[in-house]
Amino acid sequence: MSRRRKWRSFEQKPRFLLEAALGRAGARIQRFKLEKGFKDMRLNTLKPAPGAKRPRLRVGRGASAGQGKTCGRGVKGQRARKGGYHKVGFEGGQMPIQRRLPKVGFRSAMAATRAEVRLGELARVEGETVDLEALKKAGVVPAEAERAKVVLSGSLAKAVTLKGIKVTKGARAAIEAAGGKIIDEA
């Protein structure tokens, strides 16, 4: 009865066995790793780098521990008390930065009811006539949109008829060049 030799790691395996197990390219990579001193990364051997996990500092355990009595908080004052030191943005009575800087911009409430449609998106609408309901049904504009405007972006392959939708000058020319038309622009 023959005894099979068990190699503990890739370093001990002969070259021909490495090539048989990993293929020629895999064996070359494995040899490179061994030469450079790389170790295989295994889930059961993962651990934090040395010094990354420091033990928790136990304060208030006597003078010899280094953080006794006042626990490193000094003597009296707001910083020494428990339960929060200051509110967010507080700068010790100095005018905080969010109040020193000017207000800028605003968010339009009307923006939620307006939608912009690219020329290329008109192809997603089924049928020849395109109105606001058809755009909503095709998922081109959000359901809460009250008005839509077609802009010149992308290309239009099929002829469409727009009803009750605004159109930019460039988009109008592109729609008419594709054989489409615009009826009662809103």
pLDDT of 12-40, one tens digit each?
A: 666 666 667 667 777 777 778 778 777 77
Q: Which residues, 6+ apart, have CB-to-CB distance to 30 below 8 Å?
A: 10, 18, 22
- Give residue-wise pLDDT tens across range 81-108: 888 777 888 888 999 999 999 999 999 9
Q: Where in the chain is the domain with CATH 3.100.10.10?
A: 112-183
Position 87 scores a pLDDT of 84
More confident residue, 71 or 23: 71
Q: Name the CATH architecture for the domain at 112-183.
A: Ribosomal Protein L15; Chain: K; domain 2 (3.100)
Task: Give the separation between CA 17 and CA 24, rounded to whole angstroms.
Answer: 10
The answer to pTM > 0.85 is: no
Can you read off the two tokens belonging to residue 66? 């280094």
